[in-house]
Amino acid sequence: MTKYFQIWLASARYSITRTLMFRFDFFLWALVELFWMGVNLLLISVIYEHTDSIAGWSKYEMLLLVGTSLLVQRFLMGFFWSSLFEMGRNIKSGAFDFFLAQPGNILFMASTRKLDLDGLCNSLVAMGVVAYAAHRLNLHPSALDLLLYAVMIFCGLIIHYSMLVMTISLAFWITSAQGIEGSYFTLAEFSRLPREAFKGIASVLFVWLLPVVVVSNAPAQILLHGFQPAWVIALVAATLAWFATAVFVFHRGLRRYASASS
């Protein structure tokens, strides 16, 4: 673990140095992401001008939920997105050989090579949204609640990471990998909705089979209602299952990889 942490630190230093070399790109993409987050928050304000509750959630409860969803996604974009985005293209071009030649776990090396500072910076904005919503709701979470919230955020990050790895791994089987990551973003849109809004087949699909709703609802429920064992157990179990499946799919695909030399 110490070796991999040192490798990650080296990658982080490289990413920071590269970002400082292209400052305009950093500020531009940070503003683009900030604008996108602002649109999502503005949408909540507009909707609640016409109603007091959606699926039993008040305005600031919904703001807390959306802020939690944005926090998980900003972490994903900051820590993993660029590396995984390039992985699909490297698989088809043969440049993935670079990772096969490295002395370490292939998935780790391929998915942690770059950091996006714009995503990490905007995660602070998402934290501010959560803190503001909690203040307006007059919430006073205990230290245990905050710790569980952080654990749930981490679990949500791993689930999103696993879903994205599985999506990108399709590049091992299909002719063109371009655009397949869009399927992940389509699913991620549902994470900003309350669990109570899903009924019947939609509940089975997006809450249980594809836990994109749970990754944001479970942490939000911790802050709103305190420790709830059912939510914690469900999210931890989903995290383990999805991560194991992602690793399995990635390594199955790796067997099909045809390198540049072949």
pLDDT at 252: 92
- Is the pLDDT at 261 greater than 70? The verdict is no
- Number of continuous H segments (helices) and E segments (strands) in the chain: 12, 0
Mean per-residue pLDDT, 150-160: 93
pLDDT digits (tens, 9 = 90+) for 57-70: 899 999 999 999 99
Q: What's the mean per-residue pLDDT of the chain?
A: 86
Mean per-residue pLDDT, 78-86: 89
DSSP letter, residue 78: I
Spatial separation of the C-alpha atoms in residues 102 and 82, rounded to whole Å: 19
| Residue 201 pLDDT class (50, 70, 90 cuts) | confident
- Is the pLDDT at 76 greater than 90? The verdict is yes
Phi, psi angle pair for 52, to nearest 5°: -100, -15
